[in-house]
Each structure stands twice: as structure tokens, then as C-alpha cells.
Amino acid sequence: MKADIVIKNGLLLTMDEGFTLHEKADLAISASKIIDISPRSGYQGKKTIDASGKAVMPGLINTHTHAAMSMMRGLADDMPLDIWWQKFIFPIEKKLLDPEFIRIGVGLAAIEMIKSGTTAFSDMYFYEDAAAQICKEIGMRCFLGEGVLDFPSPDAASAEETFKIIEGLHEKWGKDPIIHLEVAPHAPYSCGKDNLLKSKALADRLGLPLHIHVSETAGEVAAFKQKHGLSPVAYLEKIGFLSERVKAVHCVHLSESDIGILKEHDVKVSHCQESNMKLASGNAPIVELQKAGVTVGLGTDGAASNNNLDMFDEMDAVAKFHKAVRQDPTVMSAQRVLRMATAEGARVMQKPDIGTLEVGKTADIILIDLNRPHLVPLYNIYSHLVYSAGGSEVDSVIINGKLVMEGRKILTVDEREIMAKANEFAGRIINEVKNF
């Protein structure tokens, strides 16, 4: 029996609901699908990978970022969110954002994510066609949301123009196996009722997820309540925006009633722990959301507010932060956090064929080198992956059944060339910042 790729002798974590674990197993891939998982596969691969001493698991899923903002990493740190936006990020975006910026920034981000075990990411930004092109070239699975605003964006004079861009993206990329689309109204405070409902109508018509920031800071929520008399969540329910398509990002400042509303409408939540900590946004009620039955995945947010896109770092922070603030070491187990970064992330992204290793699922897979001093001896693989491992232990990456990194070498593009272009473009950013 023939297969495209056979991975042999790996410690295989399926991340299914029963946390099925194979101490030593082979996995066979044909086209983009997993076709066999067994102690000794009868398949012969065109490519055989010996995974002895390695963990084999689903790729990590980053449910929220602004990938091109990797170009602004470290540019404006240690300041309040409103000053960060108004004094640095918005002016740079207004002056310098163009398809070249996006291509370089997203290329840089995609390489960083692949090399730290992420096989799929959700983006909210601009010039998303340029993002799609570089992700296709690299072989990175992406969910791209062209940002909808009430005011002009870097690539659209109005929300109506943005909707036309989304329509065009759907026509061009809608059937691509790794380029997926979203409708991304930025937030309830930056999109009025009309554009929120137009975004929903477009997402419903095209069958796409809705990607929106919700209740990130206390000041934002207080100002919204003063203006509308409702929390952002209650307002979105009142106008008829909420549904199972919605992915609400951050959700830091929620009332008990807000949590109930999210559950009632099957809204998914993207939790960005490190960004919340760095920007001092607050303590998101993730434990309470999960107890209520709300699906929660993990995101890094952009590298300008994190400052990396390493989901291993994100998992470690999530597990430890919620234990600390609740003074309870049991509230966020390593197994739960790893599920949030894989299977639950797939639910947030509304793509059920990824996130676990099962026959028939799409082959988005990472191999992790366990032969490292900080991973020896091995008692509990889940604890090691969340509390001890880092992105640098990721050895090989398969996305949509194709090997895109092997032995930590990116196989599809020249990463040194992309880094060189990023350094060159950074000179323009530095010159611009000098004028602030």
C-alpha cells in the first residue's frame, strides 16, 4: 500500500476528546489526509520520516493575530494601549502600509509560526490578498480577515469598498485548500450598527466566520456603556449580530450576563493571554467561560503587542496566569491548555477537519524533538509540552499533507531572503518614527 508520507515510530498525541495517546505508532498521509494510524503501518511512503525520540501531534492553531505587525515588533513597548495605537501604530500604518509591507511582514510571521509549531493562523489586517499570496508560496494555512472600519482603512476609502475587497478575495481564494477567508469588523466601537450588520450579512451569504475584537479593556467597556447603555456583548446581541459564526477576540471584561449571552449564541472566544498581560488589559474570565461551555482557543495577537508568535509561550502563560490569579493550581491543566491550542482552536476557526490526529482528518502535523535536556526524563508529555517545551524544539512541520519544514529548515522559501527584506524595510519605519 502506497502513501505520500509515512511518519514512523513516533510518540503520537491525537488530541481527540479522549486524549488517545500512542506510545509508539506510525501515521500515513495520502494527498492531504491522514489515512492510517497504527502500531506498525503497512503503508510504504514516497517520503518516510523516522520520528523516534519525537512527539507527533496536531499543529498549533493561532486563532488571532495581525501577522504583518511583525514588522513593528519592539517598536513601541511599555505604554498604554491608546497611546500605543494613536502615537505609533496608526501613523505608521497610514504612511507605510502597502502590499510590499504586508508581503514581507506576513512572510516573516509565517516563518516564525511554522518554526514554532503553528500550522494555521487567523489574521485581521489589510491588503489581505498580498497576505494570501505569500502564505500560498510558503504553504502556510491562514484565515484572512480584511479589516472593516467606519472610517478609511489603509487600502479602502470606506466600509463599502472593504466589502467589495472581501467579495473579490472570496472569488479568487474561496476554493483554495489552505487560504481561508473571514469577515473582520474591527470592534463594536470602530464599526457602527450598519457596518456590523452588513458584515454579518456578508459572512452569512459567503459562509465565512466573523472575526471581531470585543471588550478588551475596562476603559473601552465603560465608554461603550456610557454611549449605548449596554456592554459591547449585550449590544451585539441586541442588534442581532451574534451567532455561531462569531469569533470574539480578547473578551477580558465580561459580566456573568455577557458570558451567558456568548454561550446562548454559540460564540467562540479567542484568548490572547500574553498580549493581555503586556498591555495590562486585565484578567479574562476564561475559566468561567469554559465552565459555561463556551469554546475558547488561543491566540498570540500581533507581534507588536506580544512580542512573539510562539504558541508554546502562549500555552505556558495561559496555564500559569489563571492558576495564579485564582490561587488554584487545578483550574487550568496542561491537557486542557493543549486542547485549546489544537482541537478547540479548530472549533474556534470553524474548521473541524484539523486540530486532531484521526483517520480522515487533514494532515496538519508537527514533530517535536524530545531529546533535549529540559525534556528529559519524560513522565507526562502534556506537562512537558505546556510547561517545558518551546518553539525551538519543533523539528518538522506538515501542512495540508505537504512537508514545509524538515530538520528546522523551511523547504518552500528562502527565510534568509525574507529576513533581509524585513531589515531593509525597517529602515523606512525608523525614519518615519523619527518624525513623530
- Class of 2-58+361-410 per CATH? mainly beta
d(CA 393, CA 157) in angstroms, rounded, equals 44
Q: Is the peptide bond before 329 cis (omega within 30 degrees of 0)?
A: no
Residue spans of beta strands (DSSP E) within 31-113: 33-38, 44-50, 54-58, 60-65
pLDDT of residue 436: 64
Q: Which residues pair with residue 56 across a beta bridge? A: 12, 367
Query: Residue ranges of the chain with pLDDT lower than 50?
Result: none
Number of H helices, E strands in the chain: 16, 17
Q: What is the DSSP letter of 379?
A: S
Q: What is the CATH number of domain 60-348?
A: 3.20.20.140
* CB contact set of 379 (below 8 Å; sequence gap of 6+): none
In angstroms, the CA 103 to CA 130 distance is 6
What is d(CA 112, CA 63) in angstroms, rounded to the nearest whole number? Answer: 16
Task: Yes or no: say if 265 and 243 are a contact pair by the CB < 8 Å rule.
Answer: yes
Length of the chain (residues): 436
- DSSP alpha helices (H): ranges in 34-127? 81-83, 90-96, 99-115
Overall pTM > 0.95: yes
Cis peptide before 307 (omega within 30 of 0): yes
Check if the beta carbon of residue 89 is closer than 8 Å to that of residue 397. Answer: no
pLDDT digits (tens, 9 = 90+) for 217-259: 999 999 999 999 999 999 999 999 999 999 999 999 999 999 9
Tell me what pLDDT residue 89 has: 82
pLDDT on residue 87:
78
Domain locations in the chain? 2-58+361-410, 60-348
